[in-house]
Amino acid sequence: MDGMGWMIILVLPFLWMGYGLALLIITGCAFESKRIRRVLLWGVAPQFIILCITTLLLYWINSRLIYVFVFFQPVLCITTAIFLFAGKKTQYSRLLFTLSHVIFLAGVLYQGHRENLQHIINSDWKEYKITRLFEQVQDNGAHALNNDVTCSELMQLLTLAAERDDVKEETLRTLIAKRVSPFLTMSDNCTGEDSVEIYSVDTTPFMAAIQNHNIHSVRFFSQLLMGNSPKAKNNRDIVRRANPLIEVYKYSHGSKKQRNSGLEISKQLIAIMPELLTDAVWRAVLNVYDADAARWFWRKQPPENRLYRLKAMALIPQTDALLAEIRHTPEVLNISSEGDLNEEEFLHFLIYGGDTAVIHALVEKGIVNWQHLMNIEGFDKDPLIWSISKLGENDNDREVLALIIHDINAQNALPEERIAKYLTWTGAMGEIFLKAGVHCDKLYAAIESDKKRNNGMYSQNAREEVDRVCTPTK
């Protein structure tokens, strides 16, 4: 946000408080002064009432634009000031009153045009009607659906139902009975209907249920994938092309509930269509480090891609088999997907998302050549930075990081010039270095080295961290 934006955010509350105070004073004075009463009744009150009614209507339909009129305050301040001036008996009173209302209307029209107010309110009104209709169908079933309900409205209802955790199975059955398919988009379901809005290819009720991790809706829709009827086969073809399992694991930081529901949905779909478990799905699972899903998927079908297979073994974990692979070909630690330049190297995955038992075994058996890895150029190639960035509040993360630092130090691969930078990464690094066997003398020496090499870029914060855990040398 730019400086003007912050200024508006900070100033607006004071403007509203000032306007509210002015409104109270004007209202109080209106009982005693005919001039002020004229200002209130013919100037301030109509504008305030219009603004309140509009805001309440937007709130009633749960509109996204309810915030718009918060930023209308400067216009109200200007028009109120003009009204107060015009309230005096001058020859320009009527002209000033008219000018003030023109400014108000111009402000409304400008704000409406800038925010595309008409289109968005129309859209919000439609969503409100669909939500109300959904609640009626939940309560009254098919009786709530009139004959004039359009196909596009039915599709919006079905999509909303697919997203809602509280949807009744009877509601889904009622909507499906109206001959709309949860596997098709609105444009495919409602061909020839003028009011149909064109949605993206993935926006189907089925995909909406997947994206919202709605187990109940997915279970209901999955029944339409079973059997050998032409319709069931066609539904399976559609699902196979889109492969919803990839969508299931697109979250970046999934909660435990999200991961559990994702695995439950995966089980439901794979039971009907085992061919959905592809390497693309494996990649999605590995990208979010979902060990439970990887464990269950492995029993069904391990990935064909070698990198994905190694990553899965690190998650599950299959420690002995993985260590045997690494011993046989140590260079696997540096491999990444050839098809994606952004794919992380296996060692990065192992350190950041691998099971603690695997990392323990890898370090304790001295399999990793840290001398080579720590000399690779580039901040994003530093395995110790990977380890530190994983560091959380739990003791396991600290123990693993201390093990890695100890092993790096034992191989004389810990670059002195980087230690000061490592120390500033998080507030726990002092204890972790000591636990790893890196003594205070070496830490202070690294800080002095930073002063010479990097002009003390990290030395001040690093010294504070080391002073916290070490007795400063005299």
**Looking at residue 305, what DSSP letter applies?**
S
Cα 396 to Cα 58: distance, rounded to the nearest angstrom: 50
Q: Which residues of 450-470 are buried (b: 16+ CB within 10 A; e: fewer)?
A: beeeeeeebbeebbebbeebb
Percent of the chain with pLDDT over 70: 76
Q: Strand, coil or helix: what is 383? A: helix
Count other C-beta atoms under 10 Å from residue 327's C-beta: 11
Cα 433 to Cα 444: distance, rounded to the nearest angstrom: 12
110: CB partners within 8 A, 6+ apart:
none
Cα 291 to Cα 295: distance, rounded to the nearest angstrom: 6
pLDDT in tens, 333-358: 877 665 555 567 788 888 888 888 88
Better pLDDT: 255 or 167? 167
Highest mean pLDDT among 288-297, 378-387, 462-471: 288-297
Residues 422-428: what's their mean pLDDT?
A: 78
> For the residues of 241-254, what is the DSSP string, one character each?
HH-HHHHHT--SS-
Q: What is the pTM of this model?
A: 0.71
Contact indicator for 154, 180 with CB cutoff of 8 Å: yes
Question: Which tokens hold the place of 331?
Answer: 């260079």
Lowest mean pLDDT among 336-345, 383-392, 402-411: 336-345
466: CB partners within 8 A, 6+ apart:
423, 430, 440, 443, 444, 447
Contact indicator for 320, 344 with CB cutoff of 8 Å: no
pLDDT in tens, 107-133: 777 766 666 666 666 667 777 788 888
Contact indicator for 317, 282 with CB cutoff of 8 Å: no
pLDDT in tens, 128-150: 788 888 888 888 877 778 777 88
Average pLDDT, the chain: 79
User: Does 253 score more than 90 pLDDT?
Assistant: no
pLDDT of 3: 44
pLDDT of 202: 46
Residues 35-63: what's their mean pLDDT?
A: 73
pLDDT of 342: 55
Length of the chain: 474
pLDDT of 248: 93
Cα 243 to Cα 253: distance, rounded to the nearest angstrom: 21
Cα 246 to Cα 279: distance, rounded to the nearest angstrom: 10
Cα 87 to Cα 209: distance, rounded to the nearest angstrom: 60
Residue identified by tokens 């998302």 is 353
Residues 324-340: what's their mean pLDDT?
A: 77
Count other C-beta atoms under 10 Å from residue 270's C-beta: 18
pLDDT of 201: 40
